[in-house]
Chain A
Amino acid sequence: MPTPPIQLSQYDDGPSLAAATRIVDGSSPDALYAHVPFCRHKCHYCDFYSLVDQRDRTEPFADRFELEAETIRGSIDASKIRTAFVGGGTPTLLEPPLLARVLAAIRAIPEETLDEFTVEANPETVSEAIAATLVAGGVDRVSLGCQSFQPDLLKALERWHDPSCVPIAVQRLRDAGIGRISLDLIFGIPGSTIDDWDRDLDAVLALEPDHLSCYGLVFEPGTPLAEKQRLGRVDAIDDSIESAMYDRTRDRLAAEGFEHYEISNWARPGEECLHNLVYWQEGDWLAIGPAAAGNLGGIRYRNLPRLDDWLDGTGLSPVVNVDQPSAVVASGERLMLGLRLRRGIDRAVLDGLVTGHAERQAAVERHLQRGNLVWHENRLRIADRSIMLADDILSDLL
């Protein structure tokens, strides 16, 4: 049954439980995203919703999480759910019994066994008990935030873990039976050189991950890092060095047999993150937990991003930032996300996205002429040499 159109003006002001019900009821998501907002320490580049020193709230969190999951289970069509992802924050900061309850609540939602169940972890939090809890909870993939293996660069990010805990965490996860491991790195950290980056790539490759995410550091507005930059206490590295680091990443990972499948993501064949592909291919996903973002039936929303208020509820979380993109905006988003994927967009799909948009069509032609876009096996994609300028290209296509 098609979802009746929602009058957004009713909801776009404050948090709304009514909007949550309208969006979630009867939806049939492809994926679940759960958010655990606790952190031991707020890293200076992070702009995700996370809370420090709230560990006395972890038990109320688990209680409330179970209530929300239960309500969701009763109100959606769960037959299409294939993946789940628990992000944060630091999900592995939850004590093992609480983590077990959260994982169980998630697993209880889908009708079928999940094809992929990923949990994010910080290396220093991966104890043997946590590893065992993850496996027992049905988790088969862990994404570990390494960021760098060099203490001075970690310090520049206000990230305080000891790099030596990364191989230990990887070993513990593998020993416990986690089959798929993804590692995150950040390049372009203030003060870093190409040689630093090479050493980080060496270190991460030595751990033989199945999947790698390599992010150029972003000075997100509102973060302490951005503030330090504004005050002149830290400088972004020269963008030609950052660009060289990116080229080095692509070359080295290609040589190691990784496929570059999204701007910042590499995987061994068949090891792409299925959950993230749901985001990038405009699938439907459902949000659980405070500040978790979802996309159902063409409507984007976010659960209440305040832990106290979220804890007060009993069923669905009230939602904020409800956004129903118009057809033009939605097709623009598909272009943006589709071209962020290295495989690009199929010619027939592309035709549907640009037909009737003269400006968009002209922009595609212009960037093809300039060599920023190329056709490859009947798919349009961003040329290798232009990936670092993707936003410049994509902004013309919206």
Chain B
Amino acid sequence: MKVRNFSIIAHIDHGKSTLADRLLHATSAVDERTGRAQMLDSMDLERERGITIKSSAVTVMHEYRGETYELNFIDTPGHVDFTYEVSRALTACEGAILVVDSTQGVQAQTVANAYLAIENNLELIPVINKIDLPAADPDGVSMEIEHVLGLPAEDAIYVSAKTGQGIPELLDAICEKLPDPAPSMGDKLRALIFDSHYDDYRGVVVFVRVFDGSISVGDKIRMMGTGRTFTVTELGRYTPFAQKLKTLGQSEVGYMVAAIKTLGDVRVGDTVTLEYDPAPEPMPGYKEPKQMVFCDFYPSSGDDEGGKRSDFESLREAVERLHLNDASFTFEVQHSEALGFGFRCGFLGLLHMDIVQERLEREGGVAIVQTAPTVSYIVDLNDGSTLEIQNPADLPDMSRVKAIREPIVKIEIICPVENIGDLMRLADSRRGSFRGQRFVSETRQILDYQLPLAEIIYDFYDKLKSITRGYGTMDYEITGYEVENLVKVEILINGEPVDALSIICHRSGAEGRSRAILAKLRKQIDRHQFEIPLQAAIGGKIIARETIKALRKNVTAKCYGGDITRKRKLLEKQKEGKKRMKNIGSVNIPQEAFMAVLEQEG
């Protein structure tokens, strides 16, 4: 029997999941009555957002020219934040179907995903989808694919995943064009982990592709990266319904259950081998997940008291529970002057952050205040040691600091030609450096830039969308850390530095950001009996200043018989207000003031 291991890759909303469904139907794996829409996506959230977050694998049988083919669909996450996961899933394949929407054309993630597949030496089948739509331009789009990716336009298969048009041709192409799995390199078990799920009943379910040897129920296995050992209790595959197997053999794809309690014990990209008969080398390409974007989550309580303990406990439960299903975000308890107790979380990227926040609110039932995202910095100290920090308050005294490095991304924007100028101005204003410009078609171009991650986590994507009226798409990839002229800006209130208000930013933008923060603080801090200077300083040098004028009047003029209770209550309110504030340098600072630096800039 022949085996075809392949993924479907696409830009968001180009129809990947619908196409997967259609292929399952066409191979009779799912009949119309029992089939649910978009079989491969298991979470509501994924379905709503039209993206696939977690991959899984489905095995179906197909007859082609009198031969039975075992087709293993390996689903991939649809966003760049999961680039590493996508690349691991692609490693498990020999081929990929590159789906492009015939009304949208090549988009940023089309390109990014195609490159990943090419890097993994996958055979690509370009598929032009949604050809049933009136606005479809399959010929134009296949020319774009040829232009940008070098895949011959005549190789593209035109389909409508919705009507089923072109699906038989695609199935034939999968059998005909995609290569057989490569022969085994050795007889010792090597199975690549390309995904894992948490299941309330069975614990962690691990998805593997066996490259060498075979694995059986009862085997004692070892994860070669983490060194953890387990005993296999169940093996199987989804068709798409679970079908238990005794053994997974060479080049097969399936799932494994081995009494693994948490997702933290399993790393995508790790290699499974046998404890007593191990392979000499793991599969290449294993990496630890790396959190690049950070923000704080606090419970948003409706009352005046800020983060109540019980709200925090609900948040903690939600975070811990979600972490069972997604070990790729990190969390630690954080306390903020403004918001009380919460968690500082680390994410693979921006979308990952949004997804975690939504899932916490939706699945955990907690309302969340999210602070503005930050990146992690690497600080080189004079003594030769390095330090990684995410919080400006953790930055050591600048006299000990030799350099600060920040994460840099390579960004690829696909946009209408008429927006090129505006987008270049946007990228330039975000410390971007221009890397290149290519044609996709007569009307659209690819713009390559390199810029600091810190500059795109604010509102870059929103700006891009508004400049291009929704037509622009972007993709980014973190390329490393670079030394930049970064400074710690301290905020002083009445001469006292307030740690919780300090920020790290590029020197060129320090003055502007400082002024914006001071202006917000000026509005939030009540006037006192004395004039309050608000200052922003870099290494003791003042770069911006605001002043809160002294309060000259706070007195009730009339307080007669009928007024006393009401006036007393007004004073009690003033007193309570003062109590809730943080007193620094004899200035009462309200919680809202601390939000001045935590909030997204408007």
**Chain A interface (Cβ within 8 Å of chain B)?**
33, 215-218, 239-240, 242-243, 263-264, 276, 279-280, 285, 291-295, 300, 302, 321, 323, 325, 329, 332-333, 336-337, 340, 370, 372, 386-392, 394-396, 398
**Within B563-580, which residues are at the interface with A (CB < 8 Å)?**
564-565, 567-568, 570-572, 574-575, 578
Segment at the A interface, from B297-305, B446-454, B551-559: B551-559
CA distance A216 to B559 in the complex (A): 12
| Pair A389/B564 contact, Cβ less than 8 Å | no
CB atoms of A387 and B578 under 8 A apart: no
Of B551, B553, B555, B565, the contact of A300 (CB 8 Å cutoff): B565
Asked whether A395 lies within 8 Å of B572 as measured between CB atoms, the reply is yes
Contacts of B276 in A (CB 8 A): none
Assembly CA distance A217 to B556 (angstroms): 10
With contact pairs A387-B555, A389-B529 given, residues A395 and B574 touching in the complex (Cβ less than 8 Å)? yes
Contact status A336-B571, CB under 8 Å: yes
Contact assessment for A392 and B554 in the assembled complex, using a CB-CB cutoff below 8 Å? yes
Please report the C-alpha to C-alpha distance between residue A215 and residue B555 in the assembled complex, in whole angstroms: 10
Residues in B neighbouring A387, C-beta threshold 8 A: 555
A332-B568, A395-B572 are contacts. A294–B551 as well, Cβ < 8 Å?
Answer: no
How distant is A296 from chain B, measured CB to nearest CB, in Å? 11
Instruction: Verify A395–B571 contact, CB threshold 8 A.
Output: yes
Asked if B201 CB lies within 8 Å of chain A CBs, one says: no
User: Are B575 and A329 within 8 A (Cβ)?
Assistant: no
Complex partner residue of B564 from A240, A279, A292, A398, CB under 8 angstroms: A279
Contact partner of A389 (CB less than 8 A), chosen from B555, B557, B572, B575, is: B555
Known contacts A242-B552, A336-B568, A388-B552; A33/B561 CB under 8 A: yes
Bound state CA distance, A285 and B564, in angstroms? 13
* Nearest CB in chain B: distance from A390 CB, A: 4
Contact of A395 among B557, B561, B575 (CB under 8 A): B575
Q: In the bound complex, how far is the Cα of B566 from the Cα of A325, in angstroms?
A: 12
Q: Are B560 and A276 in contact (CB under 8 A)?
A: yes
Contact of A321 among B554, B565, B568, B572 (CB under 8 A): B565
Q: How far is the CB of B123 from the nearest CB of chain A, in Å?
A: 68
- Chain A residues, CB < 8 A from B558: 215, 218, 264
Query: What separation, in Å, do the CA atoms of A293 and B564 have in the docked complex?
Result: 10
- Is the pair A391, B574 in contact by a Cβ cutoff of 8 Å? yes
Cα–Cα distance between A294 and B562 once the two chains are bound (Å) = 7
* A336, B554: Cα distance in complex, Å: 14
Contacts of A294 in B (CB 8 A): 561
B554–A390 CB distance below 8 A: yes
Q: Apart from A215-B557, A264-B558, A398-B568, what are 16 other A-B pairs with CB-CB below 8 Å?
A: A215-B558, A216-B555, A239-B551, A239-B552, A240-B552, A243-B553, A276-B560, A285-B561, A329-B568, A340-B559, A370-B529, A389-B552, A389-B553, A391-B554, A391-B555, A396-B575
| Separation of A36 and B112 alpha carbons in the complex (Å) | 81
| CB proximity of B550 to chain A, nearest CB, Å | 8
- Residue among B561, B571, B572, B574 with the highest chain A CB neighbour number at 10 A: B561
Closest residue to B530 on the A side, CB-wise?
A370
The answer to whether A279 and B560 touch (CB under 8 A), given A242-B553, A395-B575, is yes
Cross-chain contact A293 with B561 (CB below 8 angstroms)? yes
Listed A/B pairs (9) with beta-carbon separation below 8 Å: A291-B562, A300-B564, A336-B567, A336-B571, A391-B554, A396-B578, A398-B568, A398-B571, A398-B572
The residue on A at minimum CB distance from B553 is A239
Instruction: Report whether A323 and B565 are in contact in the complex, using a CB–CB cutoff of 8 Å.
Output: yes
Contact B575 A398 (CB under 8 A): yes
CA distance A389 to B575 in the complex (A): 14
Q: Which of B529, B555, B557, B568 has the most CB of A within 10 A?
A: B555
Determine how close the nearest CB of chain B comes to the CB of A103; give it in whole angstroms.
Answer: 19
Shortest Cβ distance from B228 into chain A, in angstroms?
A: 56
- Chain A proximity of B318: nearest CB distance (Å): 38
B contact residues around A285 at 8 Å (CB): 561
- Residues of A within 8 Å of B554, CB to CB, are 388-392
Q: For residue A227, give the distance in angstroms from its CB to the closest CB of chain B.
A: 19
CB distance from B571 to the nearest CB of A (A): 4
Give bound CA distance, A336 to B571, whole Å.
Answer: 9
Distance A370 CA – B559 CA, assembled complex (angstroms): 25
Q: Which residue of A lies closest to B555 (CB)?
A: A390
A291 to chain B: which residues have CB within 8 Å? 562
Q: Considering the complex, give the chain B residue whose CB is closest to the CB of A275.
A: B561
Contact with A along B563-600 (1 / 0, CB 8 A): 01101101110110010000000000000000000000
A216 in complex: contacting residue of B529, B557, B562, B574, CB < 8 Å: B557
Do A388 and B564 have beta carbons less than 8 Å apart? no
- Do residues A392 and B574 form an inter-chain contact, with CB atoms below 8 A? yes
Q: Which 5 A-B pairs have the closest CB atoms?
A: A293-B562, A395-B574, A239-B553, A215-B557, A239-B552
Question: From residue B558, how far is it (CB to closest CB) to chain A in Å?
Answer: 6
Q: Which residue of B lies closest to A264 (CB)?
A: B557
Output the least CB separation between A322 and chain B (Å).
10
Task: Provide the residues of chain B in CB contact with A389, threshold 8 Å.
Answer: 529, 551-555
B564 & A333 in contact (Cβ 8 Å cutoff)? yes
Please indicate the chain A residues that have their CB under 8 angstroms from the CB of B574 in the complex. Answer: 391-392, 395
Q: Which residues of B contact A336 (CB under 8 A)?
A: 567-568, 571
Whether the pair A292, B552 counts as a contact (CB closer than 8 A) is no
B553 near A216: Cβ-Cβ < 8 Å: yes
Cα A302 to Cα B566 with chains together (Å): 12
Chain A residues with CB under 8 A of B578: 395-396
Which residues of chain A are within 8 angstroms of B557 by Cβ–Cβ distance? 215-218, 263-264
The answer for the CA separation of A372 and B554 in the assembled complex, in Å, is 13
**How far in angstroms is the closest Cβ of chain A from B23?**
63
Residues in B with CB closer than 8 Å to A280 are 559
B557, B572, B575: residue with the most chain A Cβ atoms closer than 10 Å:
B557
Contact of A295 among B551, B561, B568 (CB under 8 A): B561
Residue of A with least CB distance to B560: A279
Given the interface pairs A242-B553, A388-B552, the reply to whether A337 lies near B559 with Cβ below 8 Å is yes
A7 to B556 Cα, complex, angstroms: 31
Residues on B with C-beta less than 8 A from A325 are: 565, 568
Q: Which residues of B contact A392 (CB under 8 A)?
A: 529, 551, 554, 574
The one of A239, A279, A370, A388 that contacts B561, using a Cβ cutoff of 8 Å? A279
